[in-house]
Amino acid sequence: MSRMDFAALFYNQVCDCESLVAGLDSLLSTEAHILTIVPYASEQFPSECFKTADKNRSFKLLSIHEEVTLFELVFHSPRIERNAEELRGRFFVCKHPSFPKIYMLMTIESADFVQRALLPFIEHNRFRFYLTFLKHDDIGSLLKNFRMNHGFSDLRIVRASVINRFARGVKEATIPSQTWPRLGLEGAFEYAREQNGWFRSLSFEVLKDSRVFAEATIHRNGIVKTDGEFRSVYNSLIFPICQIIQDNIELFARRSRRENPGLSVRPLTIEFARDQFENVEENAKFIEAMRQLNNASVSVMHGNPYISMAIVDYADGSTFDLWVLNPSEVVIVPQLKSSIASIKRVISHVFDNYAEGIIRDFQISRQ
């Protein structure tokens, strides 16, 4: 008797967002797959985003529905080998039901396909695909809500990639599960805080009593992987991440002076929970952290006691002024040209390399 090909059946049945979610949920409960979900924002429709290929990649639109589009990507490895390696895989792009610029890319293809073929394309085209950055505390809140909303008894951390700030540049340390036997969520976040670090990614087992229902991974850039419990992951992780992306693009949009009447400025602030710049030595740390921004010019106009910097992002020519005029905040002033992607890059650099804070509209307060 021939074995039922659930995956083929699934690809044929998907016609909208609900059938995609239901199909993936069902597929993961019957077959061993790792589903990768990439929530992103874009000004372009998927058919435009995945039309342009590079020299190693070609896209083919396999089916298109109002909410869901299915693509195939063929990737030819640039490695020089006698038999050029080819990676081929399919992925869905699903429109967010409420936010017109937000999409969720989903694929059950191999890790090799995802890591070598698909994600590098998205990363290289970051002005077309706007991913997010989840703050350390955001990840904690998302996971706590995920646990609570679906009645899971615990989330047991199995792997974590922690980045320590100020470790002579950003250094990554992957912490194996043996280091944290049966460490729960709270313990893991406490550990990272003690190390002045943040999670680049966190892999965890989803437990009900002592039974493992799924293993999932959440990345700081909003990418989520899971091998089960997709409906719960979709509702309590993917949807809130889409909301964060939406909030950020609303906050970062139209910041460039060219887009504002009279070329006026619309600055943003990063507010820290404590007086980060209380000691003047902190200025040097911050300046050093900003100088690590790659593919950019960082010019320090003034470094002590206040900080004034000019930043040019060479990825797209965006320019910013950056000021520290108060112990608890950094002010980012987008100049004549500044894209959403570039604002996101500067802010995430501050979060990754210096400290995390709350992003707000700049307000003048007479003191």
Interaction site with other proteins (CB under 8 A) = 257, 262-265, 267, 275, 277-278, 291, 295-302, 304-306, 310, 312, 314-317, 319, 321, 323, 325-327, 331, 333, 335-337, 362, 364-367
Nearer to other proteins, 34 or 270 (CB): 270
- Residue 193 or 258: which CB sits closer to other proteins? 258
Give min distance, CB of 352 to other proteins, in A. 19
In whole angstroms, the minimum distance from the beta carbon of 131 to other proteins comes to 18
For the chain, list the strands marked E by DSSP.
35-41, 57-64, 68-76, 86-95, 102-107, 154-164, 171-175, 197-208, 211-219, 224-226, 268-271, 296-302, 307-313, 318-326, 329-334, 358-361
CB of 359 to other proteins, least distance (A): 17
Calpha distance 132→142 (Å, rounded):
14
Place of tokens 């950094």: 330
- Angle, alpha carbons 102-106-108 (nearest 5°): 175
Beta bridge partners of 201: 161, 219
Q: Which is nearer to other proteins, 207 or 265 (CB)?
A: 265
Query: Minimum CB separation from other proteins for residue 94, in Å?
Result: 29
Give me the helices (H) in 152-238, please.
Answer: 185-194, 230-233
For the bound state, the minimum distance from the C-beta of residue 12 to other proteins, rounded and expressed in Å, comes to: 40
Of the pair 84, 325, the CB lying nearest other proteins is at: 325
Q: Residue written as tokens 């040209």?
A: 337
Q: Pick between residue 15 and residue 287 the one whose CB is nearest to other proteins.
A: 287
In the numeric block, the tokens 């396999």 are attached to: 62
